[in-house]
Amino acid sequence: MTELAVAPAPSDFIRDVVAEDLRTGKHTRIVTRFPPEPNGYLHIGHAKSICLNFGIAHEFNGICNVRMDDTNPTKEETEYVDSIMADVYWLIDGWADKNLGGAPLYTSDYFDRLYQFAVELIAKGKAYVDDMTAEETDEFRRLGKASRFRNRPAEENRDLFERMKGGEFPDGTRTLRAKIDVNAPNVWLRDPVLYRIRHASHHHTGDKWCVYPMYDWAHTLSDYIEGITHSVCTLEFEVHRPLYDWILQALELSPPVPHQYEFARLNLTYTVMSKRKLIQLVNEKLVNGWDDPRMLTISGLRRRGVTASALRAFAYNIGITKYPGMTDMAVLDHTIRDEFNRTAERRLVVLHPLKVLLTNYPEGKVEELEAVNNPEDENAGRRKVPFSRELFIDAADFMETPPPKYFRLKPGGEVRLKYAYIIKCDEVVKDSSGNVTELRCTVDLDSKSGGATSNRKVKGTIHWVSAAKANDAEVRLYDRLFTAVEPDASGDFKSFINPHSLDVVTAKCEPALADATPEKRYQFERLGYFTLDPDSTATKQVWNRTVTLKDTWAKEAKRS
RNA sequence: UACCCCGUGGUGUAACGGUAACACAGCGCCCUUUGGAGGCGUUAUUCUUGGUUCGAAUCCAAGCGGGGUAGCCA
């Protein structure tokens, strides 16, 4: 099993529609799109959407456009465009052709055409310039009342709209509104605003414009312009769909026209997903930037060590529906472990070193013992691990007064050192304040792994490194960022930040780990999966714990 | 409040009028030189009430519950 996570093509209600439209000949080539607003970094919820839209294009031989939905100059920045494209390419690379979507497109590149469409709508008597304030507009809409400017002659509307574009009027003084039905049951049909005045510099069009289209106008027509067949968005836009369809009909656009479909956005336990909250975490320095490995941003997940293929497998596992549920973070963890168990090479690393002296093992002797790189993959080969008189084991693998069912080292007890010998703890050395500083043990020389007399069983097997040959490395142990299942369910989500979400230790690593590369994932035996962080230098490795191993002992220990 | 959408084990999904299944989580056992992985088993599900039908998770109606929308944000 070297092919990973190439799951069978998933099926869901949207793919069903796509397949049907192809079957009936309604469409001959599928075009989807992923339309982020460049006002923040992409998160795992966007990954779900990317996998859906690119997935459909990929499976049905179509294309998927990445389109910056940049109609609000006051919120959008080029930095975000760059991060978004980096994330999208990373996520789809090796799975769908990058050129499936090509270079990023921009709604702002269509501003001229969108403006012309608006002029057309005015000419058809289906839009008018309104002079009411934002507050008045809101109130009238709530009351279902018509604006007193609603019946302006088309020519006056045309003139006013042109002068809006010309910059004659200050921000907020006028809007262009669709003339639909001020009393419609669906509030989005109560003469929605199509254009507003914003004397602001735009990240992509500079100072060319001072009127900017609203989402519904821009998005619908951008879909049409690009020949989108299936415009897939999240549930909160469901009530916009009648407006989407109205716009296409009002302009009497020739078919085929796009159709909008909605699915439930991703909700995950123990995290927050809204851009507003993520940006707060960054700005208030509660995390170290957008790509902090504790963030559920795509860049954060990438830095943490999650692979694109694992993220895609996750998107596949959770499915697509209209039910707005809450997915357990355990599903993400499981998906990552599932892949890494098959692909990650094993290494011995001691996180919290406790010295062990083997009293009956010769001083100065070094044995090169053989270790399996990956028990799940024979092709991963073997390596040598040096063994000597002084070792480090993890402090958690020794207890002076252990609870029942503790299989590791204890005074007078025995344990197997992985790939090496069985040792017995004879003596516990402590400092003046009673802390254990060293263990004196004896080796059963007949118990060497792979040897003729190695068959003796002991209950526990622990990892270790040779003190003389070990290399130091910084290891960043990440845990979930929030302690509450739903941090934003009530109160201030920041009050649920996990104070132990990051623990930094200096670990002792076996020599073979020195050759590690950033692309590879490693399992530190019995501890978890780890990835080299970009903070690493030629002289110092920095490791991120992507996810722990499943730990049934922790559960057992909690019980007693 | 109005309008729209959605209700299948604890969680996420499947079953497309014909035996309610899969994954995660949980529990138990087996195996294990990772308390990992793996294997086996197990707990537990169609919101309610009517209707249509030989037959309903599926279609219809009402109720109940949950979510969304009511920015000159997207």
pLDDT band at residue A490 using 50, 70 and 90 as cut-offs: confident
The alpha carbon of residue A151 and the mean position of all alpha carbons in its chain are separated, in whole angstroms, by 49
Q: What is the pLDDT of residue A206?
A: 97
User: How many residues does this entry show for chain A?
Assistant: 560
d(CA A162, CA A78): 29
List, for residues A303-327, the tens digit of each pLDDT value.
999 999 999 999 999 999 999 999 9
Is the model's pLDDT at A99 over the cut of 60? no
Q: Which residues of A are catalytic?
A: 37, 265, 275
DSSP A217: H
Judged by C1' against the alpha carbon of A422, the nearest nucleotide is B33
Using the predicted structure, report yes or no on whether residue A1 has a pLDDT greater than 60. Answer: no
pLDDT digits (tens, 9 = 90+) for A518-560: 999 999 999 999 999 999 999 999 999 999 999 999 888 887 6
Distance between CA atoms of A53 and A270, rounded to whole angstroms?
A: 26
- d(CA A344, CA A257) in angstroms, rounded, equals 47
Which nucleotide's C1' is closest to A341 (Cα)? B37
A127 neighbors A133 (Cβ within 8 angstroms): no
Between residue 91 and residue 120 of chain A, the positions with Cβ below 7 Å from nucleic chain B are none
Query: Does position A5 have pLDDT exceeding 50, yes or no?
Result: no
SS (H, E, C) A79-91: HHHHHHHHHHHHH
The sign of the torsion formed by the CA atoms of A302, A305, A311, A314 equals: negative
Over residues A20-79, the pLDDT tens digits come to 999 999 999 999 999 999 999 999 999 999 999 999 999 999 999 999 999 999 999 999
Local structure of residue A435 (DSSP, 8 states): -
A328 Cβ within 7 A of any nucleic strand B atom: yes
Sorted by sequence, the CB contacts under 8 Å of residue A285 that are 6+ apart come out as none
User: Which nucleotide has the shortest C1'-to-CA distance from A73?
Assistant: B73
Q: Are A22 and A360 in contact (CB under 8 A)?
A: no
What pairing do the DSSP bridges indicate for beta strands A353-358 and A436-444?
Answer: parallel
Query: In the sheet that A63-68 helps form, which strands lie side by side, from edge to edge?
Result: A31-34, A63-68, A105-106
Which tens digits make up the pLDDT trace of A176-196? 999 999 999 999 999 999 999
By the 8 A CB rule, do A431 and A473 touch? Answer: no
Cα distances (Å, whole numbers) of residue A56 to A7, A48, A276: 14, 12, 29
Q: What is the DSSP string of A379-417?
A: GG-EEEEEE-SEEEEEGGGB-SSPPTT--SB-TT-EEEE
DSSP code for A497: B
pTM for this prediction:
0.95
CB A320 within 8 A of CB A292: no
Strand B contacts in A 357-376 (CB under 7 A)? 374-376
pLDDT of A386 above 60? yes
Distance CA A316, CA A121 (A): 42
d(CA A389, CA A365): 7
- A424-483 pLDDT, tens digit per residue, is 999 999 999 999 999 999 999 999 999 888 889 999 999 999 999 999 999 999 999 999
**pLDDT recorded at residue A528:** 98
The ipTM (two decimal places) reads 0.96
Mean pLDDT of A131-156: 97
pLDDT of A355 reads 98
Enumerate the β-bridge partners of residue A528. Answer: A524, A548
Q: What is the pLDDT of residue A558?
A: 82
* Tens-place pLDDT, residues A241-299: 999 999 999 999 999 999 999 999 999 999 999 999 999 999 999 999 999 999 999 99
Residues A360-376 have pLDDT tens digits of 999 999 999 999 999 99
Q: What percent of chain A has pLDDT over 70?
A: 97
Closest nt to residue A215, judged CA to C1': B74
- What are the backbone angles phi and psi of residue A525, rounded to the nearest 5°? -55, 130
What is residue A2's predicted lDDT score, i.e. its pLDDT? 28
Cα–Cα distance, A166 to A83 (Å, whole number): 34
Between CA A44 and C1' B71 the distance (Å) reads 26
What percentage of chain A reaches a pLDDT higher than 90? 93
Phi, psi dihedrals of residue A417, rounded to the nearest 5°: -85, 120
Q: Is the CB of A353 under 7 A from strand B?
A: no
Closest protein residue to B2 using CA and C1' atoms?
A185
What residues have CB less than 8 Å from A457, skipping those under 6 apart? none
Q: Which chain B nucleotides are covered by protein, judged by CB under 7 A? A: 2-8, 10-16, 23-27, 33-38, 66-74
Q: Is the CB of A327 under 7 A from strand B?
A: yes
